[in-house]
Amino acid sequence: EAGVTQSPTHLIKTRGQQVTLRCSPISGHTSVYWYQQALGLGLQFLLWYDEGEERNRGNFPPRFSGRQFPNYSSELNVNALELEDSALYLCASSQPGTSGRAMSYNEQFFGPGTRLTVL
């Protein structure tokens, strides 16, 4: 079974530019989560999507946004890039709960990440 996939693997941008990162969840998973992991720091929760809707958002400015498509894949967009946005961006997916509803506490499976460098 294919795992979570992310693209691109690496990206170099300059300050002020915009970037779009992509994620495809494991087949059958309806929830997609985005995290930021800056060098030497822990994972910071960015966004949670399920069934095309944003379910929760971390403490990040509005220039971080995203969406989820009908096939459950997702995009993370970051506008007006700043130097401190340089980080590994991880996507994770999880199954719906036993009732069919999205549950925030199901096990999450991570993709390999996109390493973003802002110069």
Partner 1 sequence: RKEVEQDPGPFNVPEGATVAFNCTYSNSASQSFFWYRQDCRKEPKLLMSVYSSGNEDGRFTAQLNRASQYISLLIRDSKLSDSATYLCVVSHNDMRFGAGTRLTVKP
Which stretches of the chain bind partner 1, using CB under 8 A?
A: 33, 35, 41-45, 48, 56, 58, 88, 90, 104-113
Phi, psi for residue 35 in degrees, rounded to 5: -135, 155
Q: Which is nearer to partner 1, 7 or 17 (CB)?
A: 7
Q: Which is nearer to partner 1, 11 or 88 (CB)?
A: 88
CB of 115 to partner 1, least distance (A): 8
CB of 23 to partner 1, least distance (A): 12
Q: What angle do CA 92, 98, 100 make, to 5 degrees?
A: 75
CB of 58 to partner 1, least distance (A): 7
Q: Which is nearer to partner 1, 18 or 51 (CB)?
A: 51
Q: Which is nearer to partner 1, 2 or 80 (CB)?
A: 2
Q: At a CB cut-off of 8 Å and minimum separation 6, what does 13 contact?
A: 19, 81, 116, 117, 118, 119
Burial class (CB in 10 A: 0-12, 13-18, 19+), 16: exposed
What is the maximum span of the chain, computed from C-alpha positions, in angstroms? 46
